[in-house]
Amino acid sequence: MILQYIIFGVDVIVFHADSGSDMSEPLRNWEVPQGIEMFSLDQISKATSGFSKECEVGCGGFGRVYRGNLEDGRTVAIKQASAKSKQGQREFRNEIQLLSRLHHRHLVRLLGFCQSGKNQVLVYEFMENGNLHDRLLGKYSGQLLDCYQRLAIAVAVAQGLDYLHSYAVIIHRDLKPSNILLDGNLTAKISDFGISKVSPEFDTHVSTKPAGTAGYLDPEYFLRRQLTTASDVYSFGVVLLELITGQKAIDQKRPEEFNLIEWVKPRLRNGGIRSVIDSRIAENFPEEQYLALATIALRCAAFDKSERPSIKVSLEAYIVWQLY
């Protein structure tokens, strides 16, 4: 899993504005961040044969996803936002500025952008093994993520979040398996910073309308509308539980305990780690490491944010436990 044969390409997001946005304003008097490339819309169109149906590989609430190739040979993944997008010129520039300063091995890297008429394009590195949701919880038919790959993913995500919180001073707001991408070595990288917030360095929280995904959304943030790094910690705890159990954060097939946190708590307390472990890896997994991970996961997913450890503390606690 640590072998170095990663194949990088490009992940492209295309935004279409509605008539009420300020897309028509040119990108004048704006300095392109250092190290960020400018792509033409023609390059992006050619990569997907004009966004053809044959190149489409998926779609979601954000729009459609295509696979293609740039003329220089790089493999590309293209995300085309729906026509309902209201992101204007200023927001587009801010997002480029935000993403251009994120440099960490466990964050998907912005390579460049394109702005042409009503089209706005962000260009990222390509992650050839898709997202964690499809590999862990979806209908992916390939090789199962084994117990050690899952541990490595957990640590990688923690390291990426620690960088966001401690160095970039950014709150992700929507951490979930579908926003955790996997490269050619199954190395995890956090993606999708579309609703991220820059956290004021000396403030304890940001007051904002709740945004995120059910099952991963911090309940205190939802109730009080006060966003903190602890909101990301909560989401991280849920992701850890999914890695351990192989079950979804919210599942109506668990009628009395549809929330994964409430499903895990009594079983872990009464039956130990074997009562919650994903049956697909139950025959051969390091029980003590997974028990430690489950303990950390439940602390991160505590209802009261004051009871949650920071990502740094969670990561350090797990690493220290492994060493001793």
Q: Which residues are catalytic?
A: 174
Q: What pairs with residue 113 in β-bridges?
A: 38, 122
Nearest partner of 215 among 276, 278, 163, 263, judged by Cα: 263
Torsion of CA 70, 57, 171, 189, to 10 degrees: -70
Nearest partner of 57 among 39, 75, 72, 42, judged by Cα: 75
Cα–Cα distance between 271 and 264 in angstroms, integer? 10
Strand locations in 82-187, DSSP E? 110-116, 119-124, 170-171, 180-182
Cα–Cα distance between 112 and 19 in angstroms, integer? 25
**Cβ partners under 8 Å of residue 316, min gap 6:** none
Cα–Cα distance between 100 and 264 in angstroms, integer? 39
* Rg (alpha carbons) of the chain, rounded to whole number: 20
Was 79 annotated as part of a binding site? yes
Take residue 263 and report the two structure tokens written for it: 């499903």
Amino acid letter, 273: I
Give the three-class secondary structure for 29: coil
Cα–Cα distance between 318 and 239 in angstroms, integer? 16
Take residue 53 and report the two structure tokens written for it: 């149906």
Task: Please report, in range form, the residues annotated as the binding site.
Answer: 79
